[in-house]
């Protein structure tokens, strides 16, 4: 009796082969803010899909928790420091994907925002991406292939959010930076997209809730604005980032990718 191509033995073999193929096999991915929250979830998701991940963060101690994770190498980098960013780029021969994640949330309307708050926010949220892209883009252009993903937010040009003046302005700038880079280099093999989450349950969000005068009420308020009745998980954002980092999104560039459970509807 001949073996049918649909026999269970062949099926098992095909399934095993498919499982072994990662969507990011052979890609080198560099990302910032990988010690916790969305950056950490993305680093793990990228590695699970076969990427070689260079996970960076200013918090060297916390970043160490990723040491020994298959496919991940760690390095302490403050992305607001040009010398550190340039040294990182110099040490890496080839980078396929750059994911700029680092960001800082300042609370307050324009009247509750002083110049220092404004400058810190712009420095961490926007100038850091300017430095990282300037450091890594020449390498990508040299091989006519590169993929940049920037972390923006729904709190930006997409949606006005109470008490997020400096933060939202900085994230609108990230969207502008993304479109600018995408437009300038689309004909040279470079893609640039940004991710715009709504409310994601990360350590810093929990800290911000705890810092409120009434944390219980603050949590209720955060949940009340979610049409889904729950916050997004870092892993859900990471799934979107895997898509953007992979060749499945090869025709996607210059866009803001909203993942907010309908908050901005």
Among 140, 151, 173, 177, binds ligand NAD (CB under 6 A): 151
Q: Which is nearer to ligand NAD, 101 or 190 (CB)?
A: 101
Query: Should residue 197 be labelled a site residue for ligand NAD when binding is judged by CB under 6 A?
Result: yes
Query: Should residue 204 be labelled a site residue for ligand NAD when binding is judged by CB under 6 A?
Result: yes
How far is Cα 77 from Cα 59, in angstroms, rounded to an integer? 8
- DSSP letters, 132-200, are HHHHHHHHHHHTT-EEEEEE--SBTTTB--TTBHHHHHHHHHHHHHHHHHHHHHGGGTEEEEEEEES-B
Residue 108: helix, strand or coil by DSSP?
strand
How far is Cα 126 from Cα 113, in angstroms, rounded to an integer? 17
Q: Which of residues 206-265 bind ligand NAD (CB under 6 A)?
A: none
Query: Should residue 199 be labelled a site residue for ligand NAD when binding is judged by CB under 6 A?
Result: yes
Among 74, 147, 153, 178, binds ligand NAD (CB under 6 A): 153
How far is Cα 241 from Cα 232, in angstroms, rounded to an integer? 14
Q: Which is nearer to ligand NAD, 50 or 157 (CB)?
A: 157
The tokens for 68 are 């020994």
Interface stretch with ligand NAD, choices 52-60, 64-72, 112-120, 183-191 (CB under 6 A): 52-60
Among 24, 33, 149, 190, binds ligand NAD (CB under 6 A): 33
Is 251 marked active-site?
A: no
Q: How far is the CB of 97 from ligand NAD (least distance, A)?
A: 16
How far is Cα 143 from Cα 14, in angstroms, rounded to an integer? 34
Kindly calculate the radius of gyration of the chain based on its CA atoms and give it in whole angstroms: 20
Positions annotated as catalytic residues are: 167
Interaction site with ligand NAD (CB under 6 A): 32-33, 35-39, 57-59, 78-80, 101-103, 105, 124, 151, 153, 197, 199-200, 202-205
């Amino acid at each position: 009796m001949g073996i049918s191509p649909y026999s269970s033995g062949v099926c098992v073999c095909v399934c095993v082969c498919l499982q072994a193929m990662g969507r990011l096999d052979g890609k080198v991915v560099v990302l910032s803010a990988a010690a916790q929250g969305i950056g950490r979830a993305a680093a793990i998701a990228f590695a699970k899909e076969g990427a070689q991940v260079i996970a960076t963060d200013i918090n060297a101690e916390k970043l160490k928790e990723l040491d020994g994770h298959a496919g991940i190498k760690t390095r302490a980098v403050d992305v607001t420091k040009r010398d550190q960013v340039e040294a990182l780029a110099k040490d890496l021969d080839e980078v396929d994907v750059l994911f700029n994640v680092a960001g800082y949330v300042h609370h307050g309307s324009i009247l509750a925002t002083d110049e220092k708050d404004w400058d810190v926010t712009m420095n961490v949220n926007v100038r850091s991406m300017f430095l990282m892209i300037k450091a890594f883009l020449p390498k990508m252009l040299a091989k006519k292939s590169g993929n940049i993903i920037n972390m923006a937010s729904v709190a930006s040009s997409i949606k006005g959010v109470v008490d997020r003046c400096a933060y939202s302005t900085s994230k609108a700038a990230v969207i502008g930076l993304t479109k600018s880079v995408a437009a300038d280099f689309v004909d040279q093999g470079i893609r640039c997209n940004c991710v715009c989450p709504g409310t994601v349950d990360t350590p810093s969000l929990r800290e911000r809730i705890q810092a409120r005068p009434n944390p219980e009420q603050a949590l209720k308020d955060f949940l009340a604005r979610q049409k889904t009745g729950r916050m997004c998980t870092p892993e859900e954002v990471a799934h979107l980032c895997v898509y953007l980092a992979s060749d499945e999104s090869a025709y996607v560039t210059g866009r803001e990718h909203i993942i907010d459970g309908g908050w901005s509807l």
